[in-house]
Structure 1
Amino acid sequence: MSGKPKGKKPLVADKRYVSRKAKTAKPQPRRAKKKPRRVAKQRGGIIGFFQRIIRWVLRLIWRITWRVGLVATLMLALAVGYYYTTLPPVDQLLDARARGSVTLLDQDGQVFAWRGDQFGGVVTAQTVSPHLKNAIIATEDRRFYRHFGLSPRGIASAVRINLSEGRGPLQGHGGSTITQQVAKLLCLGVAFDPEKQTEAEYERECRRGTVKRKASEAIYALAMEAKYSKDEILTIYMNRVFLGAGARGFEAASERYFGKSAANVEPAEAAMLAGLLVAPTRFAPTNDLTRSQRRAATIVRLMNEQGYLTDAQARDAQENPAQLSQAAEARSGGYFADWVMSSGPEFFTRKTTEDVIIKTTLDQRIQRSAEEALQWVFDNKVRAGSEAQAAIVVMSADGAVRAMVGGRNTRVSGAFNRAVQAKRQTGSAFKPFVYAAALDLGYSPNDTVTDEPLTIDIPGSGPWSPRNYTNKYYGKVTLTHALRDSLNIPAVKVSEFVGRDLVRQVANGFGLESDLAAGPALALGASESTLIEMTGAYAGILNGGSSVQPYGLVELRLLGDQEPLMGTGGGIGERIIQEKAARQLVYMMEKVVSEGTGQRAAFGDRQVAGKTGTTQAARDAWFVGFSADYVAGVWMGYDDNTPLTGVTGGGLPAEIWRETMARVHEGIPARPLPLETPGNDGRTREDERDDNRNSGGAVGLLEGLLRDILGGTGEGRQPPQNVSGSDR
């Protein structure tokens, strides 16, 4: 048999060799060689352990930080976006006053005072003086045009300074940019609501310095930077910032202090205005001009260092510091402006929400005359260190007040005004109204009354015995003589004869509205009155016997309107005594100055009339009088009622009056007084007295009735003490 058996398996050796051949016949493709993996060498031991811990912590912090940062950025963007949507157009943010302003004009239409929050009008970064714009930036934020609303460098510097000065990091210097200051001025967009809080509370809320508030201001500043241009932000700032003396914005401040627009200020003026930003009340030039000028000098140096002023410009500004305008020097019109504001309607003066223009009766020349006269007398006639006060009112015969001085410190606003607020006993300055009542009944200045010891029994009080300043009695004297020498007993006798009710009626009619004394001391000025009332009452005598309501307001209108809302609030009223009686009284009062107790009031060859007054213990001294052109009243005394030493109405008050009126009448032609000399048909006064005595005329009737009324002359009784009204 031949061949292999079917199905026989190959030998193992054969299988091995076949496998090799197969592998050789079919080679595998070549693979690229892999580089060996480098394994970081980790330091072993404890150092390696801490390294691993630190790396893990840093990786954890990074994972948290970028997530928190992303969330914070999104929240900041949302906050900025929210404020962005609430910001109104720029022109709605320029006048933020909660109340209006009052501008007062003198009789010639010139501005002399401001009240309320003054807003002079809108200025922009383009229309304002370049010097002022540069001064603001140099002072408040030199990188204003380069930052994004916040200045990290400025904040860090402020914190460092605060800490070095022992304060908290956010106390004192704030490092705020102009944009942040505008955010504060806008109170983060929260409007003032007078029904919920006062203006002062609103201001405090807006100026809070907490961390939360500072953060909110920063966000608001970023929103403004996104919404407005740099010039628009600066415009808001220049119009809203408070700059002292009631001025809101640089236009109002420039008009207030320099009488010119902010577009026209010079470098020295611009520096003074910019210097107010740090502390407007402290550095206001109306409070302390020297301090304000020193602050301005610092601003000038900054402007020079930052290249805004050349060396020549800076030197000129330093050598010629800014000066106040004439109106600014008057310190907002002083006492007169205060009086007009207090006497006008409240809703157009003290609490106005509108911008109001008030034309007044003030004559600034006469006002300066009164102030200079008062200063001159106290400098030359009053002992150094005296705390005595004085007040002056000058008016026309119709009651138009031309000048008012309410105290020795004339450059004030809001101070106690002794001319209108101080009620003091009038002393013998009241006596003209006693004689006015008698003259109106038909008695003559030449009628006589006996000056003799007198005692009156007053029910409930007992006997009262007035006496004269000289402690002497002059027998039968004319009414003119009695007024001329300010004799007390004749004044009391005349008052008792004509009736105290009639005397009070005449005095009230002439404007003495205070409660008048009920007893016989009425005739000697025991009642109280104010200087402006007394001066107005004497104006009624000058104008022929008609009442006078003193006034200072001529017309009131709103800013921009041509038609006034109201007119004069005073003037001549109804007739009180006959014109003849008034002229006769002027004659008697002229004798007071030319021959009697008021001789120190005479000046030049001008005819003047008046009356002295000194109260009990010389606590008050008065002189009130007039020329044909003006009426003036002077009061002198202490605020605490301390007696004056060696002063009577015919002394220092008469001299203040003379100095005032002499200055007032400079350049005014002399005119005679409207007086009527009592006729005697060629007869002497003694002849008239004899006729009256023999015929039972006015004098005889007066004496007889007085004896009946008073129960005798009271001769032989000793007067107990001096009484109100004695003076020389």
Structure 2
Amino acid sequence: MSDSKRPKSRLVADRRYPSASAQKPKPQPKPKAAARKPARKQPARGKKRNPLVAFFLGIFTWTFRLVWRLFVRVSVVVALIVALAVGYIYTTLPNLSDLLDGRARGSVTMLDRNGQIFAWRGDQFGGVVTAQSVSPHLRNAVVATEDKRFYSHFGLSPRGIASAIRINLSEGRGPLSGHGGSTITQQTAKLLCLGVIYDPDEWDSEADYVADCRRGSLVRKGKEALFALAMEVKFSKDEILSIYLNRAYMGGGAYGAEAAAQRYFSKHAAELNPAESAMLAGLLTAPTSLAPTSDLERSQDRAATVLRLMNEQGYLNAEDTAYYQQHPATLSEAADTRRGGYFADWVMVSGPDFFTRNTTEDVVIRTTLDPRIQTAAEDAMTEIFSTKVKEGSKAQAAIVVMSADGAVRAMLGGRQVKASGVFNRATQAKRQTGSAFKPFVYATALELGYSPLDTVVDEPYCLNIPGSGQWCPKNYSNEYKGRVTLTEALEDSLNIPAVKVSESVGRDLVHKVAYDFGIRSELADSPALALGSSEASLLEMTGAYAGILNGGSSVTPYGLVDLRLKGETEPLMGTGGGIGERVINESAARKLVWMMEKVVSQGTGRRAQLPGWQVAGKTGTSTEARDAWFIGFTADYVAGVWMGYDDNTPLKGVTGGGLPAEIWHETIARVHATDTPKPLPMVAPEPPRPESVSQPAPQPQRKKRDTFLDQLMRDILGGGRN
């Protein structure tokens, strides 16, 4: 039977190895779907988008894209401009060494008569330091206080700026007024005045230049930011910090960390402990008001805050922080005395401006100051005002001590014995001299040949003054003593005899003698001249008395001995003071000293007596007791004391023979504490013949003018006139 119609059976091999065509295709893994944006959702059929919404949406999208493109383009342009500006400033920045000493003027260092430094003035620069050479405590204190992100930012701190703006706005100020958020780099840029160098020809004063450098306008802030960025490119962080540590003003005339460390602690900046470092770092915010020489307690309080910041930022552990807050830094003993006070201020004014107040060089001035005598005057002032002046009194006093040649050894211009830069009552105050002027009246009479033992009548006395009418002087006690010697009239400070003598010898001659002795203030041209109605400074009066002590020659008070540039040995100038021309003859001067000794030994100046020492002097009390004076001398020193109120309020119960004489006594007692007493250069007058007690001995060498004055003197001495 044929099987052609039957299906063919598969071979065994075919079943074992099926053909490719017969093999069942294996399912292939589906390829990953390519990431694509989700298809826009088609609006449902039958619903169309609101044409108004579509319109505004399209405008917003177009505007956003335009603004974005503009922003990107503007940002690129601004970045390019900033880069060019930073690059230009970079090329103008000097080398590091040229930026460390940035003072516009120099310093003045003053030495006392022993060659020791006692005062600094001007801009003091102690020497170059680096961020690595100073004490690490100082470096950490500055960073913790001024810019805690200093080592991580690029010169600007957006976070700091934003924080400063927030604080300013919260305190009711403008965004750029008050806190500035400046980094140390920006502060350094400001100290460099953005590269502008001080030119005296361009600026009215250095103060104007500094004020311009400190301006806080928006444009100025922008320039400051560019300058800071350029500095970050050119210098390392430590180099920028080094510039800052050398240029920053730290009060007391000290510029830079080294000068401040020497000024306040008498040590190098590398030796500062945490408390001292915190105090210096705290000065950076307000160097003048926070300076320890101005207000030590306030400076210590600020330092305690700095120590806390150092602890919070990991620079100081809690134990050390607590210790140094409880044991704050204090001024060293040497630093406390190196303010110079009134004396240093006076030397700065008395010297040439171009070498003192306006110096551009570092200058060294050798002076006449004796620190031992200065301390004696300060202690005496403190002693009297703390024990014998009513608490709360606003009365003031001044002291000047000098040698007979006019060399000033000590000066106090007020009760605040350590003050500097304040009103100096010893040199600047012009006050009525009262009876302290009378020695010049008697000096004139003695120069004309009269004797201390000649007599004058103390009695009611009047003068007719043209344009003013009758003037009748009175004695302080309102009593009259009749006939007295010139010596008695001086020792009891009698007013009527002084006026009579002045008018008899010639008011013009009295004026000339006082002027030649150094009283250059304007003197009154009236009979009241003899009673000290004119004004003079304490320095003038003390200098005039020095002329009496030295034998009758004028002196110009001086404090500057010589001046030289720092590092030089040859002085550029010497003293401008000392003994001048003779005013009265030596014999007259010695007799006047004898008369003035009686004032202290048995007259109105008894409280100035110094056991074992001969003392001469004169008291003085002005009208209504507005001023009280005592000026006196031993064989070695002349000292003048003035006391009164700045507003001319009358003193209560005080005369020249009272508290001023006691201040004088306390001062000179301390000055001569270890000295051997010396006699005064005085000569006692020869006793007059009985028949010529009221007349001076003839002086044939005198001129015709003297003969006329002699006759007038005889008339007055013989009984006076009304």
TM-score interval (norm. to shorter): 0.7 to 0.9
Of 82, 93, 102, which aligns to 1:76?
82
Q: Give unmatched runs, 5+ long, in structure 1.
A: 1-33, 681-687, 718-728
Q: Is it true that 1:641 corresponds to 2:639 in the alignment?
A: no
Supply the distance in 1 between the matched residues of 2:508 and 2:696 (Cα, whole angstroms): 25
Matched residue, 2:702 = none
**Larger CA deviation: 196-205 vs 110-119:** 196-205
SS of match in other structure, 1:477: strand
Mapping for residues 401-412 of structure 1, pairs under 5 Å: 401-412=408-419
Q: CA deviation at 1:581?
A: 2.0
Q: Contact conserved, 1:455 with 1:713, CA < 8 A, in 2? A: no
Q: Contact conserved, 1:620 with 1:636, CA < 8 A, in 2? A: yes
Supply the distance in 2 between the matched residues of 1:95 and 1:36 (Cα, whole angstroms): 72
Q: Contact conserved, 2:455 with 2:694, CA < 8 A, in 1? A: no
Matched residue, 1:269 = 276
Mapping for residues 35-50 of structure 1, pairs under 5 Å: 41-45=39-43, 46=49
Q: Is it true that 1:386 corresponds to 2:393 in the alignment?
A: yes
Q: Is it true that 1:615 corresponds to 2:629 in the alignment?
A: no
Matched residue, 2:513 = 506
Show CA shifts across 1:391-437 (max 9, x none).
11111111111111112233333322221122222111111122222
**Larger CA deviation: 478-487 vs 328-337:** 328-337
Supply the distance in 1 between the matched residues of 2:694 and 2:353 (Cα, whole angstroms): 62
Supply the distance in 1 between the matched residues of 2:712 and 2:222 (Cα, whole angstroms): 89
Supply the distance in 1 between the matched residues of 2:530 and 2:118 (Cα, whole angstroms): 41
Q: 1:109 to 1:694 in 2, by over 3 A?
A: closer
Of 151, 156, 160, which aligns to 1:154?
160
SS of match in other structure, 1:147: coil
Q: 1:40 to 1:365 in 2, by over 3 A?
A: same
TM-score normalised per structure 2: 0.87
| Matched AA of 2:142 | I
Q: 1:523 to 1:160 in 2, by over 3 A?
A: closer
Q: Contact conserved, 1:447 with 1:689, CA < 8 A, in 2? A: no
| Matched AA of 2:692 | N
Matched residue, 2:46 = none
Matched residue, 2:117 = 111
Show CA shifts across 1:245-270 (max 9, x none).
32222222222222333222222111
SS of match in other structure, 2:392: coil
Of 215, 239, 244, which aligns to 2:246?
239
| Matched AA of 1:307 | G
Supply the distance in 1 between the matched residues of 2:484 and 2:715 (Cα, whole angstroms): 20
Q: Is it true that 1:347 corresponds to 2:351 in the alignment?
A: no
Percent identity between the aligned chains? 68
Mapping for residues 52-67 of structure 1, pairs under 5 Å: 63-67=69-73
Matched residue, 2:569 = 562
Supply the distance in 2 between the matched residues of 1:256 and 1:332 (Cα, whole angstroms): 9
Q: Is it true that 1:477 corresponds to 2:484 in the alignment?
A: yes
Q: Contact conserved, 1:692 with 1:698, CA < 8 A, in 2? A: no
Q: 1:405 to 1:62 in 2, by over 3 A?
A: same
Mapping for residues 688-707 of structure 1, pairs under 5 Å: 688=688, 690-693=690-693, 697=697, 705-706=712-713
Matched residue, 1:723 = none
Q: Give unmatched runs, 5+ long, in structure 2.
A: 1-30, 44-48, 700-707
Q: Is it true that 1:486 corresponds to 2:493 in the alignment?
A: yes
Matched residue, 2:613 = 606
| Matched AA of 1:182 | T
Supply the distance in 1 between the matched residues of 2:648 and 2:716 (Cα, whole angstroms): 35
**Larger CA deviation: 429-438 vs 375-384:** 375-384
Q: CA deviation at 1:578?
A: 2.2
Q: 1:224 to 1:694 in 2, by over 3 A?
A: closer
Q: CA deviation at 1:93?
A: 1.4
Mapping for residues 209-608 of structure 1, pairs under 5 Å: 209-326=216-333, 328-330=335-337, 332-608=339-615
TM-score normalised per structure 1: 0.86
Q: CA deviation at 1:241?
A: 1.4
Supply the distance in 1 between the matched residues of 2:147 and 2:711 (Cα, whole angstroms): 90
| Matched AA of 1:617 | E
Supply the distance in 2 between the matched residues of 1:417 and 1:251 (Cα, whole angstroms): 31
Matched residue, 1:136 = 142
SS of match in other structure, 2:124: coil
**Larger CA deviation: 287-296 vs 276-285:** 276-285
Supply the distance in 2 between the matched residues of 1:446 and 1:361 (Cα, whole angstroms): 39
Of 119, 129, 151, which aligns to 1:123?
129
**Larger CA deviation: 535-544 vs 328-337:** 328-337
**Larger CA deviation: 287-296 vs 35-44:** 35-44
Q: Contact conserved, 2:599 with 2:605, CA < 8 A, in 1? A: yes
Show CA shifts across 1:100-156 (max 9, x none).
222222222222222222222221122222221121112112232222222233333
Supply the distance in 1 between the matched residues of 2:694 and 2:213 (Cα, whole angstroms): 87
Cα RMSD after superposing both structures: 3.0
Q: CA deviation at 1:504?
A: 2.3
| Matched AA of 1:692 | S
Q: CA deviation at 1:471?
A: 2.2
Q: Is it true that 1:664 corresponds to 2:671 in the alignment?
A: yes
SS of match in other structure, 1:236: helix
Show CA shifts across 1:338-380 (max 9, x none).
2111111111112222221111111222222222322322222
| Matched AA of 1:641 | N
Q: Is it true that 1:89 corresponds to 2:87 in the alignment?
A: no
Supply the distance in 2 between the matched residues of 1:59 and 1:339 (Cα, whole angstroms): 73
Supply the distance in 2 between the matched residues of 1:243 and 1:125 (Cα, whole angstroms): 16
| Matched AA of 1:286 | T
**Larger CA deviation: 657-666 vs 408-417:** 408-417
Supply the distance in 1 between the matched residues of 2:647 and 2:168 (Cα, whole angstroms): 47
